Each structure stands twice: as C-alpha cells, then as structure tokens.
Amino acid sequence: MSQQHSAAPARHSSAVTVAARRDWWRDAVIYQVYPRSFADSNGDGMGDLEGVRSRLPYLRDLGVDAVWLSPFYASPQADAGYDVADYRAVDPMFGSLLDADALIRDAHAHGLRIIVDLVPNHSSDRHEWFKRALAEGPGSPLRERYHFRPGKGKNGELPPNDWESIFGGPAWTRVPDGEWYLHLFAPEQPDFNWEHPAVGDEFRSILRFWLDMGVDGFRIDVAHGLVKAAGLPDLGTHDQVKLLGNDVMPFFDQDGVHAIYRQWRRILDEYSGDRIFVAEAWTPTVERTANYVRPDELHQAFNFQYLGTAWDAKELRTVIDRTLDAMRPVGAPATWVLSNHDVTRHATRFANPPGLGTQIRTAGDRELGLRRARAATLLMLALPGSAYVYQGEELGLPDVVDLPDEVRQDPAYFRGEGQDGFRDGCRVPIPWTRTGSSYGFGDGGSWLPQPPAWAELSVEAQTGVPGSTLELYRSALRVRRERPDLGAGESVEWLRAPEGVLAFRRGDFVCVANTTGESVTIPSYGRVLLASGELTEADGEAKVPADTTVWWAAER
C-alpha cells in the first residue's frame, strides 16, 4: 500500500472548528465539488485539493453548509477516480494526505463541513487484493473477496451468468487461467464480495481512518449494489424495472445491504460532531429509498426520483408528496437535487423536450433551459429538507454537448453501442474569470475544453450583477438561512393555484412556481422576497412570468 499512510495527521474533532449544531444535515445545503474540474493550483490542467482549498472562501460566501468531494483517492483513473487502488491515500494528481488534512481544517475554519466519497461496491483492478488474487490463481483466498467464478459452456468459455455492465457489455471478464470476475461497471472495477468478512473489516477500518482525519461524513457510491442476490442468478429469471436509464436487477437494492449500514452507523455515532452518511441508492421507488434512512442506518439518500422529474407542476407535486410521505415514517429528511456529475445539467435538461432521460446530447433552447433551471432552483430550495448543489449550477452552466470524441474520457462512451457515455459534458471545468487559458480554472489549460461563451458565465462576470444566476443563488441561500420557516420540515401546505402552477405555504412563507409557458395572474401573498424572473404586482395581484418561481413573506 502507499507510503502516504505514514503521513496521516493526528485525529482532531470537527466540533472544534465548526460551530456545533445538532442535526445540521436535516436542512443543509451541500455543494458537490468534482475536484478535477473545480480549481487547478499547479497548472497541470487538472483540478486538485489545493485548488479546492483556495476557493473555500467562495463557497463560504455562496452560503452553503457543507462540501461533498468526489473521489480523490489513489487510482488509475479508469473511471475518474471511482476505481480506487488505495482508500487511505490521495492520488498524486490531486495532492497528498497533508493537502487533504489542510483542506479539512481550513473548511472547518470557514464554517464548512467536508463529506468525502466512499466507493465500497468495487475497487480498482490495481488494488493490492485484486492484483494478488490474479497472481495466486484459482483457489486463492484473495479471490473470495471478489466474485470469481468458472464459466459456463463446454470449456468455460461463456460468462457465469447473463448480467450486463452498467457501462455496456458483459458484467464478466475472463482472466488467462480461465476464471471470470464480476464487474458491474468497467472491467477495471471488480466488485467486492460483501459476504466475505474481510471486506467488511477493511471498510470499517477505512471509515475510522477518514473520521480520525476529521471528515464530517461520507457519500456512499452505489449504496444499493454491495449485496448481490444469492447464487448470482441469471437476469432472465427476474423482472426488470427501468429506473432513469438504470435497470434494477438481482445485483441492486438487495435487503442485505441494510445490515452493513447498521454496522457503519454504530461506528459513526462514536464520533463527535454530528457526522453523516449519504446514500447514492438507485431504487425503483422513493419508498424503497426510505429503507436506507431508517433511524439506525444512513442519514440521507439522494432523491433520484425528483432529479428525473420533468418541469411539470403535476409531476413535481406527485414526487414531492410521495417523497415527504415516504420519509415521514422513518424520521428522515427529504433531499432534493437537480444535477450531479453523472447526469446532464438541468439547465440543458430543461432546455429539451421531456422524456429524454438524464443524459441528453443536444443543447436545446438555451434561454428556456436557463429560465427553467433558475425557477427549479428556487422551488427546490423552498422544500422541506436538505438540498444538493452541483458545482457550476450556481453559474447557470449548461452541458457541453459538442465535445470532440478524442477528448472524451467517460468509460461508458467507449463501451457498448447505445450506452449514454456523455457524462463528460457536465464535468467540464468551471469558469472563474472572463479571461485566461482556462477562465481562471488554472494556468495550464483544462483537461476538457471550455466553450468561449463561458467567459460571460464566469464567477467574475456574474459577481455583483443584479439578476445574475450567481447572485440569485447567493440571495436564495441567504434567505433560506434567515427564515425559520425554510429548511427542515415534514410537509407543505398546498394552496389553490391555476393549472400548471405549484403554490404552497410553510408557516409565513409562500412559494409559487409557474411551470407553464405563459404568464399567470395570482393573488399577491405579501412581500416578495425573491423571484427567478421579473414579475409585476398591482391591486393585490401578481403577474408571474412563464417558468418563474416567486418567494413571498406571506400575510395571513
């Protein structure tokens, strides 16, 4: 394993430098940083931890509560760091363990919490366990920590079952000695066998390593995939359920994962500072998602049903009600999210006709997409619970849909005809300034090319500009923090509204979202706090433009 382990700093408590607030995560706004695309401190074209550290004041002033960092562990980067070779080391492209420690400490000094990605479903094929398993051959005890199987057919030439990789093609790869190993993602990402006790022991140790470093929580990658159906049965014997482009199969959402998370929760509760787990759990229903956030398991789970909902009042109300109804019995907060590193940014998604899923390959109507994205943001931030913001969405960034084939790095792009494989479009480094080789991202260009139009979408171009998307986010987060009726909660009071319009009250706060393509006239609810577009008020009525959300300080 890496020599960086010896450099691990002494344990410190996040409660020392971050103001203690019980259950802070119930109404937190958490900002996702994709490190390779956030800020580059050394001019190599790739973002790094020191770059993130240098931009912490920006995140503090934006008004978020916590920062979730996508993987920065030692990795061959076959899948942008989600193929981990060493869970206790920082990849040199991002820095060192000392850089990670400095980032955590500085974040706490700025009043920000740090959540790190954990990748427990699979490792890299360069992980020491897997390298030894290959070298030792059939019968090696190390092979039992993964899913090695003999093949089918007369000479074992067929895969052990009919499972397919999420990235396209078979979920099995044959090694020279004739056995096959399972990988639900790329061949460079062999799946762990969570039935083996050594796997659980290792990850409990990994949790403690980073908790001792002072992190405030973990986002669990593929939280629904760790446990596979007993016997690894053929998919052909099971019904398939389509979910936002992913199939829920015998290797997803098995009940056995919950015993793992109950063990992990006991570890987390030993530490001070109110630390949390967040599940990336793709499930067929929000009710199944609620199983992950029962009181003795995880704290939050991403609401992918909401992310995949069209900009439509009826559909949005349905998923909002179902989410709140599902979370209420388990006492967990709802989470709301519009974009992340795996899906098309919502400024582009909403610029295209509904029904195209979360991976879209056309720019669509840019002006329409931005108008809807701004309105959707105010709606999301008005709902009870916690919200997630993906880096750059506060700038109104669209996806870059016309990247040349030769610069793409998404492994799904190169596997299996018909696969999405267009995640690079939402991972293009964000612009900080109007000028420079990479608009302030770094001094050495960027690992994915940025469009020239991004100069006017940069932080510099939008800061202090009334009505800009960046200032809209700053204002919304300030209002959300100042008003006691926003943030945590279990329900909304729906108000009567015209067709295509959502209106709800939370105490003395009212939110109205017009999802139609036409302006609507409604009663004025009081003093306007914030609006995503320009509205007019006269004689006790308000004219809300198309695709616009308004916040009111309500009068009873």
Looking at residue 229, what DSSP letter applies? P
Q: SS3 for 233? A: coil
Which residues carry out catalysis?
221, 270
Q: Which helix (H) or strand (E) holds 510?
A: strand 509-514
Q: Using CB atoms within 10 A of its CB, is residue 540 exposed (0-12), middle (13-18) or buried (19+)?
A: exposed
CB 185 within 8 A of CB 246: no
From CA 240, how far away is CA 47, in angstroms rounded? Answer: 39
CB 403 within 8 A of CB 425: yes
Kindly report the backbone phi and psi dihedral angles of residue 248, in degrees, each rounded to the nearest multiple of 5, phi listed first: -85, 115
The backbone region for 77, taken as left when phi is positive above 0, alpha when psi lies in -120 to 50, beta otherwise, is left
CB 486 within 8 A of CB 508: no
Structure tokens at 38: 């956030």
CA angle 376/379/381 to nearest 5° reads 110
Closest C-alpha to 166, from 191, 182, 147, 185: 185
C-alpha distance from residue 15 to each of 108, 212, 266 (Å): 9, 12, 19
C-alpha distance from residue 82 to each of 22, 357, 459, 518, 528 (Å): 31, 23, 29, 44, 44
Structure tokens at 191: 């799946």
From CA 498, how far away is CA 553, in angstroms rounded? Answer: 20
